[in-house]
């Protein structure tokens, strides 16, 4: 990938990532996230990881982002009114992030200069499938199990339980209230 093209997508990724963090509205943040992911997938394709790059765009933008969107709608969150929050925490957090950036930069600046030319078939679906279904087969099967458990877990956690609704909120609230009362006393 030429430096000019890289610079375009790099700037796009950074700006939209900042947008994810800085946008007030969750929906705007989500749109910025979409832009970030697309920029990253372009960069991956530029690195020769064609299959993975497209997979990223499809899975993230097509599936995960949509789930985010559903949840935002479900909770009916338009804007976040009390966002500013604790100033000290923010300042400290910003400082820590700056330090992190500096340290990571110091690490990665000294990496090897240019990538060697990609071998034939690098990043192709063939090659990827070869690895996933031979060397990483066990991990792959474990991942399928993980997804299954995640789906069941997500349904179990998010589902409304009409029968024990009062018990859950009641028990939690009263335990919390007792804690608070004890604290005051």
Partner 1 sequence: MVNGVVVEFPALKLMLLLPALGVVFNLFLGRRAGRAIVNVVSVAAVVGAFLLALWALGELLALPAGSALKATLWSWIYVGPLQIDLGLRFDALAAVMTLVVSGVGSIIHLYSCGYMGEDPDYARFFAYMNLFTLSMLVLVLGNNLLFMFIGWEGVGLCSYLLIAFWYDNAQFAYNGRKAFVVNRIGDAGFLLGIFALAAAFASRGLWTLDFAAMREHISLVSSAVATMAGLLFFLGATGKSAQIPLYVWLPDAMVGPTPVSALIHAATMVTAGVYMVARLGFLYQLTPATMEVVAAVGAITAFFAATVALAQSDIKRVLAYSTISQIGYMFLGAGAGAFGAAIFHIVTHAFFKALLFLGAGSVMHALGGEQDMSRMGGLRRKLPVTHATMLVATLAITAVPGFSGFFSKDEILEAAYVSGHYWLWGLGVITAGLTGLYMFRLFFLTFYGRSRVEAARLPRLHESPAVMTIPLVILALLSLGGGWIGLPAGMLWGDRIGEFLRPVVGQVKSVPGLEALALSAVASAAALSGLVLAFVFYVAAPGLPERAAAWSGALYRALREKYYVDELYDFLVTRPLFFLSDVAFDRVIDSYAIEGLVDGAAAAARGGAAAIRRVETGNVQHYALTYLCGALAVLAYCLYYSMRHG
Partner 2 sequence: MTPVSYYLVLGAALFAIGVAGVVIRRNLIVIFMSIEVMLNAVNLTLVALGRALGSTDGQVMVFFVMTVGAAEAAVGLALILAAFRSRHTIKADELNLMRW
- Which positions lie near partner 1, rule CB under 8 A? 89, 92-93, 96-97, 99-100, 103-104, 106-107
With CB under 8 A as the contact rule, the residue among 120, 138, 158, 163 that binds partner 2 is: 158
* Nearest to partner 1 of 85, 119 (CB atom): 85
Q: Please, what is the minimum distance in Å from the beta carbon of residue 127 to partner 2?
A: 5
Min CB(94)–partner 2 separation in Å: 7
Kindly tell me which residue out of 35, 54, 61, 68 binds partner 2, with binding defined by CB under 8 A.
Answer: 68
How far apart (Å, rounded) are the C-alpha atoms in residues 90 and 10?
A: 26
Residue closest to 36 by CA, chosen among 51, 55, 21, 52: 21
Report in angstroms how near the CB of residue 181 gets to partner 2 at its nearest: 14
Q: Whose structure tokens read 């909770």?
A: 75
Given partner 1, partner 2, none, residue 57, with its beta carbon under 5 to 8 Å by kind, binds: none
Helix (H, G, I), strand (E, B) or coil at 115: coil
Please identify which residue in 88, 89, 163, 185 interacts with partner 2, judged by CB under 8 A. 89
Q: Which does 83 bind (CB under 5 to 8 A by kind): partner 2, partner 1, none?
A: partner 2
CB 62 within 8 A of CB 81: no
Q: How many CB atoms lie within 10 A of CB 132?
A: 13
Among partner 2, partner 1, none, what does residue 66 contact (CB within 5–8 Å per kind)? none
Nearer to partner 1, 112 or 166 (CB): 112
DSSP output for 31-56: HHHHHHHHHHHHHHHHTT-HHHHHHH
Interface with partner 2 (CB under 8 A), residue from 8, 78, 139, 177: 139
Kindly state the tokens that stand for 55. Answer: 């997979």
Instruction: Pick out residues in 33-52 that bind partner 2 (CB under 8 A).
Output: 33, 36-37, 40, 43-44, 46-49, 51-52
């Amino acid at each position: 990938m030429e430096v000019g093209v890289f610079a375009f997508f790099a700037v796009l990724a950074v700006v939209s990532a900042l947008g994810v963090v800085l946008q007030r509205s969750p929906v705007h943040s989500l749109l910025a996230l979409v832009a970030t992911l697309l920029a990253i997938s372009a960069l991956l394709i530029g690195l020769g990881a064609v299959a993975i790059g497209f997979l990223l765009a499809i899975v993230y933008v097509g599936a995960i982002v949509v789930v985010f969107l559903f949840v935002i709608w479900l909770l009916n969150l338009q804007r976040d009114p009390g966002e500013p929050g604790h100033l000290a925490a923010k300042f400290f957090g910003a400082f820590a992030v700056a330090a992190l950036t500096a340290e990571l930069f110091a690490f990665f600046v000294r990496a090897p200069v240019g990538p060697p030319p990609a071998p034939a078939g690098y990043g192709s679906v063939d090659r990827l499938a070869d690895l996933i279904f031979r060397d990483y087969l066990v991990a792959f099967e474990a991942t399928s199990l993980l997804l299954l458990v995640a789906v069941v877990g997500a349904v179990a956690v998010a589902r409304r339980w009409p029968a024990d609704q009062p018990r859950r909120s009641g028990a939690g609230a009263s335990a919390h209230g007792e804690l608070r009362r004890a604290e005051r006393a």
